[in-house]
Amino acid sequence: MAIKKVPVKKIGVIERYQEFLPVSEKTPIISLNEGNTPLILAEALHHELGLKTIRIYFKFEGLNPTGSFKDRGMTMAVSKALEEGAKAIMCASTGNTAAAAAAYAARSGLKCAVLIPEGKIAKGKLLQAYRYGAKVVMIQGNFDQALELVKEATSQYPIKLVNSINPFRIEGQKTAAFEICDDLGDAPEYHAIPVGNAGNITAYWRGYKEYRKGNRIETLPKMLGFQAAGSAPIVHNRVIEKPETIATAIRIGNPASWKHALEARDESGGLIDMVTDEEITWAYRFIAEREGIFAEPASAAAVAGMVKLARKNYFEKGARIVCTLTGSGLKDPDFAMSFEDKVASVAPTLSEVMKVIGNQ
Ligand code: F0G
């Protein structure tokens, strides 16, 4: 029997949402069919928190082509860089931006250089940047210092900066808000999101506002941003010189989009709070072990923040909360394996195997 051939429809976020994006027929679209990620209704978390009428949804961005939400912004930034005649791109990164920049550069033929904080980047992200063929430079310093260097380099050399201070990054990333509204039929009442360099909270808020302006939705969500306690400059209202957290993706002490994050918070009537590494770790394990969703520690910061608010009865009855899970758990194998419950190694006999798994 002949296997039926199904035509492959190539569609990423630029094609899908072009009417909301600064593109034209002249823009060469560099896409890996990013976006269209699932909105997954929580199960165990509702029981755990005793929530009866509230619904929590996970927007699982770990299922993008390079395993994080950065692909949405990078398809735009790289397409526009190419349209503008650039030959090379550059970014500072805690890992995911580097992976996405390297992948889209590979696809477009642009050269790519990434600056990362030495020793503070998850292994999966580092190997992605290498294997996609970027020039990877480790900085003996943190993300904030790396970003300063990238700003300097790109102002002096003909290299395009593709961090989220590049406005096209935010434009691409706002499409996640569109997808959520398309799936729910309206905006949720609350949106929880981790905050690092603060580009993504800026992007979502812009997306929701533009969808309302375009009459696609009637209401706007309250934006709830969460920083890690050791890296919470916005919460403390001061630059953190030596940010620390196990959630290395958001280990940032001086966010580039600080002002826009405050606007998102204040215009939406939301908040920006912080969560401890312990709370992040609890949420990280809970969504993996009880919901079957493996997201990276930074993503779990948003879950931890939402849990903290739910325990204080912050959410009103009937509310829908969307929580963005920004990246895949596969990115950070070292953290995943850092717990007591490591894999057992035994002799190849049934009795030894049963000793480990117990009489189930
Ligand atoms: N979650 C993950 C998995 C991230 O990689 C980042 C940022 C964030 C959340 C925070 O998003 O910066 O827009 O507030 N990662 C950047 C990077 C900094 O270099 O990959 P933000």
User: What DSSP letter does each residue of 178-196 carry, written as one string?
Assistant: HHHHHHHSS--SEEEEE-S
How high is the pLDDT of residue 342? 76
Residue 200 and residue 241 in one domain: yes
Note whether residue 353 is domain-resident. Answer: no
What is the Cα–Cα distance from 288 to 149, expressed in whole angstroms?
37
Does the pLDDT of residue 279 top 90, yes or no? yes
Does the pLDDT of residue 360 top 70, yes or no? no
Q: How do residues 173-195 score in pLDDT, each as one tens digit?
A: 999 999 999 999 999 999 999 99
Substitution site in 63, 66, 97 for ligand 1 pocket (most atoms within 8 Å of beta carbon): 97
Give the end of a domain, one of 127, 161, 195: 161
Quote the mean pLDDT of the chain. 96
Residue 149 and residue 34 in one domain: no
Higher pLDDT residue, 341 or 326? 326
State the average pLDDT over residues 122-131.
97
Single pTM value for the model: 0.96
State the average pLDDT over residues 222-233.
98
How high is the pLDDT of residue 341? 83
Residue 127 and residue 190 in one domain: no
Does the pLDDT of residue 1 top 80, yes or no? no
Residue 137: which domain range? Answer: 71-161
Handedness of CA 247, 65, 170, 221 (dihedral sign): negative
Does the pLDDT of residue 210 top 90, yes or no? yes
How high is the pLDDT of residue 125? 98
- CB distance 248 to ligand 1 below 6 Å: no
What are the strands of the beta sheet with 160-161, ordered from one edge?
Answer: 135-139, 111-117, 88-92, 160-161
200 in a labelled binding site? yes
Q: How do residues 23-35 score in pLDDT, each as one tens digit?
A: 999 999 999 999 9
State the average pLDDT over residues 208-232.
98
How high is the pLDDT of residue 4? 81
Ligand 1 centroid from CA 74, angstroms:
13
Q: How do residues 152-173 score in pLDDT, each as one tens digit?
A: 999 999 999 999 999 999 999 9
Substitution site in 60, 66, 68 for ligand 1 pocket (most atoms within 8 Å of beta carbon): 68
Note whether residue 3 is domain-resident. Answer: no
326 in a labelled binding site? yes
Q: How do residues 53-87 score in pLDDT, each as one tens digit?
A: 999 999 999 999 999 999 999 999 999 999 999 99
Give Cβ neighbours of residue 242 (< 8 Å, ≥ 6 apart). Answer: 142, 253
Note whether residue 294 is domain-resident. Answer: yes
Residue 229 and residue 304 in one domain: yes
What is the Cα–Cα distance from 28 to 46, expressed in whole angstroms?
44
In sequence order, what are the beta bridge partners of 350?
none
Note whether residue 288 is domain-resident. Answer: yes
Ligand 1 centroid from CA 25, angstroms:
31
- CB distance 329 to ligand 1 below 6 Å: no
What is the Cα–Cα distance from 295 to 281, expressed in whole angstroms?
11
Give Cβ neighbours of residue 333 (< 8 Å, ≥ 6 apart). Answer: 122, 123, 124
Contact 226, 304 (CB under 8 A): yes
Does the pLDDT of residue 300 top 70, yes or no? yes
The CA-based diameter of the chain, rounded to the nearest angstrom, is 67
Residue 186 and residue 154 in one domain: no
The structural domain count of the chain equals 2
State the average pLDDT over residues 263-289.
98
Note whether residue 327 is domain-resident. Answer: yes
